[in-house]
Amino acid sequence: MASNVSFSLLFLCFSFVHFPLFSSQSTHSFPKEALPTKYGYLPITPTSTSAIFYAFYEAQNSTLPLSQTPLLIWLQGGPGCSSMIGNFYELGPWRVTQSLTLQRNPGSWNRIFGLLFLDSPIGSGFSVFSTPEEIPKDQNAVAKHLFAAITKFVQLDPVFKHRPIYITGESYSGKYVPAIGYYILEKNANLEASERVNLAGVAIGDGLTDPENQVATHAVNAYYTGLINERQKNELEKAQLEVVGLIQMGNWSEATDARGKVLEMLQNMTGLATLYDYTRNAPYEEDLVERFLNIAEVKKALGVNESFVYETCSDVVGAALHADVMKSVKHMVEYLVRRSRVLLYQGEYDLMDGVVQTEVWVKTMKWEGIVEFLNAERKIWKVNGELAGYVQNWKSLTNVVVLGAGHLLPTDQSLNSQAMIEDWVLRRGLFQNLPEANVSSKSIFAE
Ligand SMILES: *[C@@H]1O[C@H](CO)[C@@H](O)[C@H](O)[C@H]1NC(C)=O
Ligand SMILES: *[C@@H]1O[C@H](CO)[C@@H](O)[C@H](O)[C@H]1NC(C)=O
Ligand SMILES: *[C@@H]1O[C@H](CO)[C@@H](O)[C@H](O)[C@H]1NC(C)=O
Ligand SMILES: *[C@@H]1O[C@H](CO)[C@@H](O)[C@H](O)[C@H]1NC(C)=O
Ligand SMILES: *[C@@H]1O[C@H](CO)[C@@H](O)[C@H](O)[C@H]1NC(C)=O
């Protein structure tokens, strides 16, 4: 138990739990009401100073007692990008504006759920590492650190103890989300009931999960979208096959580089502002987050060392996980779909990890329900009477296509993304995961 003592001490040093001290320090740049409910550092081992930065926003208006209100955890992709992008540019309660101020986001995911952003792995965002060797090089190491951080977070307040936890994330988090979900379920099996992490489901937005299948789809996707011609399609397909070959030989690092080349070719052929959204005439502006979080008073408000240089994405973490990028975690999704709930969602305009890149690996899943899932009706999804996208589900697996959105889907469709996550978590509307409902006999064409 000696390690527990050193652990607690370490934890105290790293914890900035919204002490009144900070209220007096909030500034014009960071209004007091925009401060997270809790924020600071969660240690990941008792023996090092490595720690994961977190920002937690309690539900604004939960319809349940707080002790039963679901907790969402958000993980950014990269590898090495900071969840503060999600927080201040996508789905958090306050978004950074062009003039580097904060503005309320009516589509925040913390309207009726607690929302926890974790800068993971260590070295990303505000998270710190004691030695570069401690930065994870594979998904198991990422998950181990996350498990420690989540466990520590839940212990911060008794009100967190029994709340259902949903792990969510985007892009390369299509790797992290299954990895931590899988790790939790494996770990829970050997823990006392009181020590288990109360995992209720996982959600992946525009994710990279099964790269070998996914990388092979860019050419046809762009071709049938009208963005490239047949000769370009053939050229791109050749480059894609090279990536697949490298994956099959286990040349992981080379495979990651070769995928980068495929995407660069597609970029060069199309001249798009960004492959993240083929309708945009300018890239997403997540650099606003970097500029905002490097303001000294903002760092002070968040309890971060003012000499810390914040980057939206860390090259050091990117390099540590470079050889991991093309490794599949599909088997972990197969494990999770049998024991938990899985939501996949994509923005229709994303050419990186979009609709086609998701369908292609989902249909290869080894799961008893896959045939029923693939044959299930793709239902028209409306929010407040307006077309919002399409929902397809069978039992524990749900796939959503969100219209009018690219890769950073909650940025583009804030309110619809909120409606989606709320309805999926609460199993409302089209998200009830029931076997296909009986088709109404009434013609939809009748007046
Ligand atoms: C909070 O929830 C109540 C009950 O559903 C609702 O009437 C009210 O408008 C909500 N307030 C906000 C700020 O969302
Ligand atoms: C694949 O890896 C092997 C062993 O590391 C190496 O000898 C070979 O050159 C690599 N092939 C390519 C195409 O990178
Ligand atoms: C893309 O275009 C740039 C600029 O012309 C060029 O330097 C680069 O080599 C091209 N990349 C690929 C993969 O063709
Ligand atoms: C902040 O970081 C600097 C440079 O790494 C370090 O010298 C200083 O001790 C840190 N301050 C605190 C309060 O941790
Ligand atoms: C669907 O139809 C079947 C056969 O008519 C019936 O047994 C079942 O209860 C119906 N299910 C629902 C949800 O209405």
DSSP 360-378: HHHTT---TTHHHHHHS--
Please give the structure tokens belonging to residue 216: 């092979």
Cα separation, 153 vs 157, whole angstroms: 8
Scanning the structure block, which residue is given the tokens 């053939």?
234
- Residue at which a domain ends, from 221, 244, 270: 270
* Together in a domain, 293 and 367: yes
Name residue 281's amino acid: N
Pair 104, 94: CB distance under 8 Å: yes
Pair 390, 381: CB distance under 8 Å: yes
- Looking at residue 333, which CATH number applies to its domain? 3.40.50.1820
CB atoms within 10 A of CB 248: 10
Ligand nearest to the CA of 436: 5
- Model pTM score: 0.88
Residue with CA closest to ligand 2 atom 6 = 251
> How much distance in Å is there from the Cα of 14 to the middle of ligand 4?
13
* Together in a domain, 155 and 226: no
Q: Are strands 379-383 and 386-394 parallel, antiparallel or unpaired?
A: antiparallel
C-alpha dist (Å) from residue 221 to 28, 211, 276: 46, 15, 13
> How much distance in Å is there from the Cα of 61 to the middle of ligand 1?
6
Catalytic residue set: 171, 350, 407
In a domain, 444, yes or no: no
- Mean pLDDT per 10-residue section of the chain, whose length is 447 residues: 34 38 50 95 93 98 95 97 98 96 97 98 97 96 97 95 96 98 96 92 98 98 98 98 98 98 98 98 96 95 95 97 98 96 98 98 96 95 97 96 98 98 95 56 44
pLDDT at 280: 97
Determine whether the shortest distance from the Cβ of 309 to ligand 4 is under 6 A.
no
**CA dihedral angle for residue 24, residue 29, residue 32, residue 37, rounded to 10 degrees:** -110
pLDDT at 18: 40
Please give the structure tokens belonging to residue 277: 């959204």
Q: Are strands 397-402 and 342-347 parallel, antiparallel or unpaired?
A: parallel
* Together in a domain, 241 and 326: no
Ligand nearest to the CA of 435: 5
Ligand nearest to the CA of 439: 5
With residues binned 3-state (H G I as helix, E B as strand, rest as coil), the percentages for the chain, rounded to 5, are: 45, 15, 40
Determine whether the shortest distance from the Cβ of 254 to ligand 2 is under 6 A.
yes
Mutational test site, ligand 4, from 16, 299, 305, 309, max ligand atoms within 8 Å of CB: 305
Give me the sign of the Cα torsion angle 105, 425, 51, 257. negative
CB atoms within 10 A of CB 75: 31
* Together in a domain, 71 and 162: yes
In a domain, 280, yes or no: no
Residue with CA closest to ligand 5 atom 4 = 438
In a domain, 40, yes or no: yes
Give me the sign of the Cα torsion angle 172, 173, 177, 182. positive
- Residue at which a domain ends, from 222, 246, 270: 270
* Together in a domain, 190 and 243: no
Pair 220, 233: CB distance under 8 Å: yes
* Together in a domain, 162 and 241: no
C-alpha dist (Å) from residue 31 to 80, 125, 410: 28, 21, 23
> How much distance in Å is there from the Cα of 74 to the middle of ligand 4?
28
* Together in a domain, 199 and 218: no
Residue with CA closest to ligand 4 atom 6 = 307
Residue with CA closest to ligand 1 atom 7 = 61
* Together in a domain, 264 and 399: no
Pocket of ligand 5 (CB under 6 A): 437-438
* Together in a domain, 370 and 417: yes
> What contacts 420, CB < 8 A, 6 or more positions away?
345, 388, 389, 400, 402, 431
* Together in a domain, 294 and 260: no
Scanning the structure block, which residue is given the tokens 């939501």?
343
Ligand nearest to the CA of 432: 5
In a domain, 185, yes or no: yes
In a domain, 150, yes or no: yes
Minimum-distance ligand 1 atom for the alpha carbon of 61:
1
CB atoms within 10 A of CB 164: 15
Minimum-distance ligand 4 atom for the alpha carbon of 308:
2
Total number of domains in the chain: 2
Domain span including residue 28: 2-210+285-431
> How much distance in Å is there from the Cα of 267 to the middle of ligand 3?
9
In a domain, 446, yes or no: no
In a domain, 436, yes or no: no
> How much distance in Å is there from the Cα of 268 to the middle of ligand 3?
6
Q: Which residues pair with 203 in a beta bridge?
A: 168, 343
Residue with CA closest to ligand 3 atom 14 = 265
